[in-house]
Amino acid sequence: MRFLLLFLVIGTPAFADIVVTTRTLRPQTVVTAADLAVRPGDIAGVPSDPTELIGLETRVALYAGHPVRRGDVGEPAVVDRNEIVPLLFERGGLTIQVVGRALARAGAGDRLRVMNLDSRTVVWGSAQPDGTVIVK
């Protein structure tokens, strides 16, 4: 009886499903269903549903059999480093559009630095799904 009571007090570890990679994925690879598998584990911050990760882009190298953390993947890049992008500034009724050079890769909604090619000024902006960078 004491053994049973001790077992109930100490408890047993709870295992949940975690998502792992089936092969090594290099950075900037778009994740597909064939790249993921589900196995039992108890690691915090790891999704249990592979559909949450399909279509996202890897930010770091992911090795086969290792869990995929939420920070390891993100939205696919719509702007690449050194790409020429349209810069758009809107305030009230004023709209200014110039051409700039992206100084980093960015997915839709990510902030990045862009150099205005006319003035050589570096500004911060937000990448849009169409590749335009909005400066605020």
Sorting pLDDT into bands at 50, 70 and 90, what band is 30? Answer: very high
Would you say domain 13-74 falls under CATH 1.10.540.10? no
Q: What's the rounded mean pLDDT across residues 24-31? A: 95
pTM exceeding the 0.75 threshold for the entire prediction: no
Q: How far apart are CA 40 and CA 132, in angstroms?
A: 42
Distance CA 136, CA 129 (A): 17
Specify the residue for token string 């690879």.
Answer: 29
Are 36 and 55 in contact by the 8 Å Cβ rule? The answer is: no
Q: What CA–CA distance (Å, rounded) separates 38 from 49? A: 8
pLDDT in tens, 49-98: 999 999 999 999 999 999 999 889 988 999 999 999 999 999 999 999 99
pLDDT of residue 70: 87
Mind listing the pLDDT tens digit for each residue in 95-110? 999 999 999 999 999 9
Distance CA 94, CA 27 (A): 39
> What is the CATH number assigned to the segment(s) 77-135?
2.30.30.760
Domain boundaries, the chain: 13-74, 77-135
Cα angle at 50 between 49 and 56, to 5 degrees?
A: 125
* Mean pLDDT, the chain, whole residue set: 89
Q: Token match 């630095």: residue?
A: 113
SS3 of 58, please? strand
